[in-house]
Amino acid sequence: AQSVTQLDSQVPVFEEAPVELRCNYSSSVSVYLFWYVQYPNQGLQLLLKYLSGSTLVKGINGFEAEFNKSQTSFHLRKPSVHISDTAEYFCAVTRGSNYKLTFGKGTLLTVNP
Amino acid sequence: DAGVIQSPRHEVTEMGQEVTLRCKPISGHNSLFWYRQTMMRGLELLIYFNNNVPIDDSGMPEDRFSAKMPNASFSTLKIQPSEPRDSAVYFCASIGLSGSSGELFFGEGSRLTVL
């Protein structure tokens, strides 16, 4: 079975600062990796995904993530955050193409002025 | 495209009552997932359907929970009888596996409070 660890439950940053949200996964087989964002009182929406190919993937709203197989990591980064990026971010993994996702516990990103 | 539609958005009920949550997936999507979100346990997959057939219900907490998908455009999650520990946000999500972009589309959730 696979699992996902998001090392930080909360990350406070100032506006225009860079941010990195950490995600590590465990799986004995190849995986697909995802980052989802959840704004207050809303469902989750996809930020970006890694299925295959280039290990650096770019998503919406200026976010990017790098798949590192040797480190079993998929950290999310943004060079300069905005107040509107305040939300909860979830890393997720699935082994196969059925998209049965296992989610991490989430990281609450709070961007302060 | 209307997206995944869930109802009710909020439900407050008393312990012992039956609760039914509803979901309409995106038209053309052939897989549907029910997730539960709590502060303590995060997002947990309860059950998923492929072409209206339940494939994996190992996440359903106990016999009080049941889910059905009578057709491609409708699914229900039922809790009977409900208990305070069932209080959570329940999300439905769908995906079209054929030629999929890999994006699971989520509804806005049903927030359940059991008193």
The pLDDT tens digits for A64-101 are 999 998 999 999 999 999 999 999 999 999 876 667 88
pLDDT of residue A98: 66
Q: Which of B34, B43, B47 should we substitute to test contact with A (largest number of A Cβ atoms within 10 Å)? A: B43
**CB-based contact A97 B104, cutoff 8 Å:** no
Banded model confidence at residue B104, pLDDT cuts 50, 70, 90: confident
A44 near B CB under 8 A:
yes
Using DSSP, state whether A50 is helix, strand or coil.
strand
pLDDT higher than threshold 60 for residue B99: no
pLDDT of residue B101: 63
pLDDT of residue B94: 94
All residues of chain A having their beta carbon less than 8 Å from the beta carbon of residue B91 are 43-44
Question: CA A47, CA A37: separation in Å to the nearest integer?
Answer: 6
For the record, the structure tokens of B13 come out as 């009920």
pLDDT of residue A2: 77
pLDDT of residue B96: 79
pLDDT of residue B1: 62
For the record, the structure tokens of A78 come out as 């943004």
pLDDT digits (tens, 9 = 90+) for B6-49: 999 999 999 999 999 999 999 989 899 999 999 888 999 999 99
pLDDT digits (tens, 9 = 90+) for A17-61: 999 999 999 876 778 899 999 998 888 999 999 988 888 999 999
Cβ-contact A33, A5 below 8 angstroms: no
Kindly list the distances between the CA atom of residue A19 and the CA atoms of A75, A85, B68, in Å, as whole numbers in the listed order. Answer: 10, 11, 42
pLDDT of residue B89: 96
Q: What are phi and psi of A45, to 5 degrees?
A: -130, 150
Kindly list the distances between the CA atom of residue A42 and the CA atoms of A88, A98, B59, B110, in Å, as whole numbers in the listed order. Answer: 11, 24, 23, 10
A108 near B CB under 8 A:
no
Average pLDDT over residues B89-96: 93
pLDDT of residue B85: 95
pLDDT higher than threshold 80 for residue A1: no
**CB-based contact B48 A46, cutoff 8 Å:** no
pLDDT higher than threshold 80 for residue B59: yes
Average pLDDT over residues B88-93: 96
Q: Which of A10, A99, A105, A108 should we substitute to test contact with B (largest number of B Cβ atoms within 10 Å)? A: A99
Which chain A residue shows the shortest CA-CA distance from B100? Answer: A97
DSSP for A55-78, written as a single string: SEEE-GGG-EEEEETTTTEEEEEE
